[in-house]
Chain A
Amino acid sequence: MTININKQKDSRRIRDKKPDIGTRVGESFNSALLLLFTVAILTVPLSFIGATVNRIIILIIINIIAVVGISIFSGNSGILTIGHVAFYGIGAYVSGLLTTSPDIKMEFLPNLPEFLMNLNLSLLPAIIIVGIISAFLGLLTGLPISRLRNTSAIIATFSLLVISHYSLIGAKDFTNGNKSFYGVDQVVDVWTALGFLALAIGIAFLFKQSSAGLQLRAFRDDEIAAKSMGVKVNRRLLESWIISATVMGVAGALFAHTVGAFAPRAFYFLKTFELIAMLIVGGIQSISGAVCGTILIAVLLEIVRNIENGFVLFGLEVPPLWGLTQFCLSGIILLVLYLRPSGLFGNTEITLPFTKNLWPLSKKKVYETISMAPVFKKDNIGSGDMGKCLRADAVTKNFSGLQALNKVSIEVQPGEVVGLVGPNGAGKTTLINIVTGSLVLTDGRIFIDDKEITSWSMQSIALAGLGRTFQNIRLFKELTVRENIMVSVSANKDHSGLSLEKTATNWLVEFNLQEYAHRLAGTIPYGYQRELEIARALALRPRYLLLDEPAAGMNRAESENLLKLLKDIRTRYGVGILIVDHDLHLIMKLCDRVVVINKGEVIASGKPDEIQKAPQVIEAYLGTDQE
């Protein structure tokens, strides 16, 4: 059975034009190449001018690497880290210990363990070791930090900065404390720095476009929705934190081998402020923003530093204005935040039309595979297997004395549509939230097929086979329509051998949303947003679907379209659907069975026509004569 939902859609939405959908790798490759080219063309020619400019250029490139490193975590997760300079500092010290000649180390680190004292590695092996150590420290610090959100997470990263600072001071035998660590070979040249920049940008783009990066960006937009799509949020945060820490550690090592001497204060607030300013000005969500923001700020700061000791302008002598650099840095942040809160680049990446197909894979258009309709198994429909159902058993929920649900039981068979209705405040959404793991029940049990999922996490429940939509649409608004689907597909991991894009595009074609594939989800019409949310939930390949007021805000025509859509879904995919809605017309026409709850208790259950006549239902909705 292959019912194409497209055919039942508004004909205005159907276009002959094939969707122009490149691959993620291709798009990223173009942006990465362009960024690298931009940095190279701005820096390489200048580096030949003299030692002064050469070193400034190298330090700017290292700053770019560091900011790109921070953006791997902050850009994808939306959590601002102010602790990453810790890894930068550790990278500098570790690489210094590994490469500085034993004679020099003996001068100021006489108590260094013998094996460290005798080490005299070259830059590359040292950087590899720094990367490994940074990743390990990233793992250790990321484990607690990945469990935190919002202000708590920011404060935790700040604590990391403070702890690392005082650790560097305290570990005198290894760092020389507050005194200088010196004698580090200054072997980083522009080409080395550019090589590592290419690596950092490549890693940043690969992560951003990977399943993990995509899921993390989904988390950034809406954590609850991401969890409901099966995204293991903490793990994604941890992964990005580790990668980010590794890049920062390597940047610190490069810094050490550019400057040659440093002290712990070089890796504290000022450096943090500088790097964060670069990230914010460019745009925290964009790697292009991180790169261009850093170049912009770095160049501006270099200009200001060169004029703050006074200059002559048209014969007028301008006196020294020391501190102008910090003033300008703060001013730029304020200005950008006021005029463009999302930074200069917002969440976009720079691309040029003529570079679009440089990557070989990008020529392989996804639309060519659209005809490969996904195979949706219907083995759940009418299986008659009594164990297979979504079942809430005597669920009770108390909110500080207020009983929202009292021993509510409900069951949805595969391929069955069950309506859950009741007046406002009856407990419908509470029940949905308990079943999906958003709320913890007070008593009772929940099962999916034979498996008990009581008190499971949202993402585990989603992966166990329960998709959902929300009363208030919760799309990932900063992701494209296609990426919204890709989040579910990636979490599900069952792509039937197709790539994420292809599977997601197939879903879009199924829902006739391919035309909007590249539009941000928050910008498409409301009705389509509702459909996209359903498509996204289905892309998780659930066995059961919970729809929380899907018709809310829809007019009669849209509601009729939704009715057809849901009937098709039930018929085609064989999923069991539990739907909550106030549109009784929709409920009665769609549902096989209706459950009515009022004041937290089930007051009626049965076929729609029976329910409509049930006196207790009429009373619940209309009240008694006395009332």
Chain B
Amino acid sequence: MKRTLIFSLSVVVFLMMSAGLVLAGGEKEKVAEEEFVIGMAHSHTGWAAAFDVAFTCAVKYAADEINANGGIAGKYPVRLITGRDCASIAAEAVKSVDALLAKDVDMIALTCDSSGAIAAGRHGQEQGILMITSTGSQPMTPIRVGDWMYASNFTDNLMGSAIAIYAREELKIDTAFTLISYDDAYTELPKYFAETFEKKGGKIVGEATYNFEQVDFGSVVSQIKQLPEEPDAIMTAAFEPDFPAFLRQIRAAGIKSRVIGADALDTPTVYSLGPVAEGVLLCTNRVPVPGSEYEKIMKGYAEEYPEHVENAASIVGYIAMYLMAAAVEKADSTEPEKVRAALDSLENWQGPTGPITFKGMKNRLPIMPVHILEVVNGKGVYRKMVIPNKEDIAEPY
């Protein structure tokens, strides 16, 4: 009994001390008036880390550049506060944002995990804090959170529409077959493609669905083979490991339709697939063109973060930081209300990979450039920058 009592009391004392330590981490920090403080609520573990980590590195890289030049507009230095790991889990994202809110940040960049971004974003919304989606491309995330959240990456509806326009106008593709997975919102992108594609005079000749990690796409192959005519293109937002499996199986079946994918295909794995990947079209934020602004940025970035230089999330982070800096500069203030108003009025802001416009856009989803690459000889060869007209962009749902 005595031992149990002593043990219990020890546990209690230990826990009280621990709780004190936790609280110490939650205290408000004194923030200088002129600083623009960005809270970084990202996943450093779990599936979302693959995108979030590169994004945070690039934001830091850009912030260092800005600060080296005296801060935003020479007077607002940027300070980043790295929040606790969102761990690709909604509950952890909420805790991370809660902790950042307690530190009086001016803005929060959220994890690309949509459930975490929505759960945590709604807390930020209640507090009236400016937020961005980081690399998240789901258009519904800012809509579901509210008027304090902005997309900082091209959204799926914009991307789907852009590649549809490219397919119709540049490649003169008339018929397309779409492959959709309802396992995640990201893989529903072909629906946006289909909407714009048909609006532009194309014809969707069939649609199939798949589940993540399906492995066998035999039924989809049969469905395509049974079409009266082979479609000009097959559009899917599938990614690893589904995309390579699907690609190999349609090519093995003799289907020669051009395959059009989304941004998740811009990975070394896809480029290393060999002949089956030849001609695959994909979207990206990267502009791998010698002499481009993008290449210049990445040259410097590679010196600090070589492991993330090929990751498209890096340029998204870099652009997002400068985009926010532009809003602060335009507002000439770090007050969230003013920065938000400035962001709403941004029109044709020239980012390193193209112009970005929030002005006149519904739901805080910007029009920004979508870059099309084609896989040629195992490399992503730059084809074109597409910026859809506002009226050509499919409505998010």
Interface residues, chain A, CB within 8 Å of chain B? 38, 41-42, 46, 49-53, 55-56, 59, 107-108, 169, 172, 177-183, 255, 258-263, 265-266, 270, 292, 295-296, 299-300, 302-303, 305-310, 320, 322-323, 325-326, 344, 348, 350-353
Tell me whether B115 and A351 are in contact (CB under 8 A): no
Give the residues in chain A near B123, CB-CB below 8 Å.
260
Give the residues in chain B near A299, CB-CB below 8 Å.
15, 18-19, 22
Tell me whether A55 and B115 are in contact (CB under 8 A): no
Tell me whether A263 and B82 are in contact (CB under 8 A): no
| Known interface pairs A263-B115, A325-B85; A50-B122 also in contact (CB < 8 Å) | no
Interchain CB contact (< 8 A) of B114 among A179, A296, A344: A179
Interface of B: prevailing SS: helix
Give the residues in chain A near B208, CB-CB below 8 Å.
none
Mark contacts of B90-124 with chain A using CB atoms, 8 A cut-off: 1 yes-contact digit, 0 otherwise: 11101100110110000000000011001100110
Tell me whether A296 and B15 are in contact (CB under 8 A): yes
7 cross-chain pairs, A with B, having the tightest CB-CB distances, nearest first: A261-B119, A322-B44, A263-B115, A180-B115, A52-B98, A306-B25, A299-B18
Of residues 232 through 272 on chain B, the ones whose CB sits less than 8 Å from some CB of chain A are none
Tell me whether A303 and B115 are in contact (CB under 8 A): no
Tell me whether A261 and B19 are in contact (CB under 8 A): no
Interface residue B299 (Cβ < 8 Å from any Cβ of A): no
CB closest chain-A residue, reference B11:
A292
Tell me whether A259 and B91 are in contact (CB under 8 A): yes
A169→B88 CA distance, assembly (Å): 17
Tell me whether A323 and B45 are in contact (CB under 8 A): yes
Tell me whether A182 and B95 are in contact (CB under 8 A): no
A260→B49 CA distance, assembly (Å): 22
Tell me whether B183 and A303 are in contact (CB under 8 A): no
Given contacts A292-B11, A296-B11, A322-B49, 18 further A-B contacts (CB under 8 A): A52-B101, A52-B102, A53-B26, A55-B95, A178-B182, A178-B185, A179-B184, A180-B118, A182-B118, A260-B119, A261-B115, A305-B92, A306-B22, A306-B25, A309-B82, A310-B82, A322-B44, A322-B45
Give the residues in chain B near A55, CB-CB below 8 Å.
94-95, 98
Tell me whether B23 and A59 are in contact (CB under 8 A): no
CB closest chain-A residue, reference B188:
A179
A108→B143 CA distance, assembly (Å): 11
Interface residue B203 (Cβ < 8 Å from any Cβ of A): no
Of B1-9, B316-324, B328-336, B377-385, the segment with at least 4 beta carbons within 8 Å of chain A is B1-9
Interface residue B21 (Cβ < 8 Å from any Cβ of A): yes
CB closest chain-A residue, reference B120:
A261
| Known interface pairs A180-B119, A259-B91, A261-B118; A107-B45 also in contact (CB < 8 Å) | no
Nearest Cβ on chain A to B8's Cβ, whole angstroms:
5
Tell me whether B85 and A322 are in contact (CB under 8 A): yes
| Known interface pairs A179-B184, A305-B85, A322-B45; A351-B4 also in contact (CB < 8 Å) | yes
Tell me whether B22 and A303 are in contact (CB under 8 A): yes
Give the residues in chain B near A108, CB-CB below 8 Å.
140, 144
Nearest Cβ on chain A to B301's Cβ, whole angstroms:
19
Tell me whether A259 and B119 are in contact (CB under 8 A): yes
| Known interface pairs A52-B102, A179-B185, A270-B89; A262-B119 also in contact (CB < 8 Å) | yes
Tell me whether A266 and B91 are in contact (CB under 8 A): yes
CB closest chain-A residue, reference B81:
A309
Tell me whether B95 and A348 are in contact (CB under 8 A): no
Tell me whether A180 and B102 are in contact (CB under 8 A): no
Give the residues in chain A near B95, CB-CB below 8 Å.
52, 55-56, 59, 305
Tell me whether A323 and B90 are in contact (CB under 8 A): no
Give the residues in chain A near B94, CB-CB below 8 Å.
55, 259-260
Could you show 11 A-B contacts with beta carbons less than 8 Å apart? A46-B19, A49-B23, A51-B101, A52-B102, A108-B140, A259-B119, A260-B123, A262-B90, A296-B15, A308-B44, A350-B8
Nearest Cβ on chain A to B88's Cβ, whole angstroms:
7
A310→B56 CA distance, assembly (Å): 15
Interface residues, chain B, CB within 8 Å of chain A? 1, 4-5, 7-8, 11-12, 14-16, 18-19, 21-23, 25-26, 44-46, 49, 82-85, 87-92, 94-95, 98-99, 101-102, 114-115, 118-119, 122-123, 140, 144, 182-185
Tell me whether A53 and B22 are in contact (CB under 8 A): yes
A310→B184 CA distance, assembly (Å): 33
Nearest Cβ on chain B to A570's Cβ, whole angstroms:
41
Give the residues in chain A near B19, CB-CB below 8 Å.
42, 46, 299
Give the residues in chain B near A181, CB-CB below 8 Å.
115
A182→B120 CA distance, assembly (Å): 11
A262→B22 CA distance, assembly (Å): 25
Tell me whether B122 and A260 are in contact (CB under 8 A): yes
Tell me whether A42 and B85 are in contact (CB under 8 A): no
CB closest chain-B residue, reference A261:
B119
Interchain CB contact (< 8 A) of A177 among B26, B83, B182: B182
Tell me whether B102 and A51 are in contact (CB under 8 A): yes
CB closest chain-A residue, reference B100:
A52
A303→B182 CA distance, assembly (Å): 38
Tell me whether B144 and A182 are in contact (CB under 8 A): yes
Interchain CB contact (< 8 A) of A38 among B12, B18, B45, B91: B12
CB closest chain-B residue, reference A56:
B95
A241→B28 CA distance, assembly (Å): 45
Tell me whether B44 and A320 are in contact (CB under 8 A): yes
CB closest chain-A residue, reference B53:
A322
Give the residues in chain B near A309, CB-CB below 8 Å.
44, 82-85
Give the residues in chain A near B26, CB-CB below 8 Å.
49-50, 52-53
CB closest chain-B residue, reference A322:
B44
Interchain CB contact (< 8 A) of A46 among B23, B89, B144: B23
Give the residues in chain A near B12, CB-CB below 8 Å.
38, 41-42
Tell me whether A178 and B183 are in contact (CB under 8 A): yes
Give the residues in chain A near B87, CB-CB below 8 Å.
270, 325
Nearest Cβ on chain A to B21's Cβ, whole angstroms:
6
A50→B7 CA distance, assembly (Å): 30
Give the residues in chain A near B114, CB-CB below 8 Å.
179-180, 263
CB closest chain-A residue, reference B82:
A309
Give the residues in chain B near A42, CB-CB below 8 Å.
12, 15-16, 19
Tell me whether A180 and B144 are in contact (CB under 8 A): yes
| Known interface pairs A52-B99, A53-B22, A53-B23; A182-B88 also in contact (CB < 8 Å) | no
Nearest Cβ on chain A to B312's Cβ, whole angstroms:
21
A266→B144 CA distance, assembly (Å): 19
A308→B42 CA distance, assembly (Å): 13
Nearest Cβ on chain A to B79's Cβ, whole angstroms:
15
Tell me whether B91 and A255 are in contact (CB under 8 A): yes
Give the residues in chain A near B84, CB-CB below 8 Å.
305-306, 308-309
Tell me whether B102 and A353 are in contact (CB under 8 A): no
Nearest Cβ on chain B to A49's Cβ, whole angstroms:
6
Tell me whether A259 and B90 are in contact (CB under 8 A): yes
Tell me whether A303 and B18 are in contact (CB under 8 A): yes
- Please indicate which of the listed interface residues A38, A180, A263, A351 has the most CB atoms of chain B within 10 Å of its own CB: A180
Give the residues in chain A near B23, CB-CB below 8 Å.
46, 49, 53
Nearest Cβ on chain B to A62's Cβ, whole angstroms:
9
Give the residues in chain B near A41, CB-CB below 8 Å.
12
Give the residues in chain A near B7, CB-CB below 8 Å.
344
Give the residues in chain A near B22, CB-CB below 8 Å.
53, 56, 299, 302-303, 306
Give the residues in chain B near A308, CB-CB below 8 Å.
44, 84-85
Give the residues in chain B near A350, CB-CB below 8 Å.
4, 8
CB closest chain-B residue, reference A63:
B91
A385→B183 CA distance, assembly (Å): 73
Nearest Cβ on chain A to B119's Cβ, whole angstroms:
3
Nearest Cβ on chain B to A269's Cβ, whole angstroms:
11
Nearest Cβ on chain B to A61's Cβ, whole angstroms:
13
Tell me whether A353 and B15 are in contact (CB under 8 A): no
Give the residues in chain A near B14, CB-CB below 8 Å.
296
Tell me whether A169 and B119 are in contact (CB under 8 A): no
A55→B102 CA distance, assembly (Å): 12
Tell me whether A51 and B44 are in contact (CB under 8 A): no
Give the residues in chain B near A49, CB-CB below 8 Å.
23, 26
Nearest Cβ on chain A to B11's Cβ, whole angstroms:
6
A266→B119 CA distance, assembly (Å): 12
Nearest Cβ on chain B to A524's Cβ, whole angstroms:
19
Nearest Cβ on chain A to B143's Cβ, whole angstroms:
8
A55→B183 CA distance, assembly (Å): 30
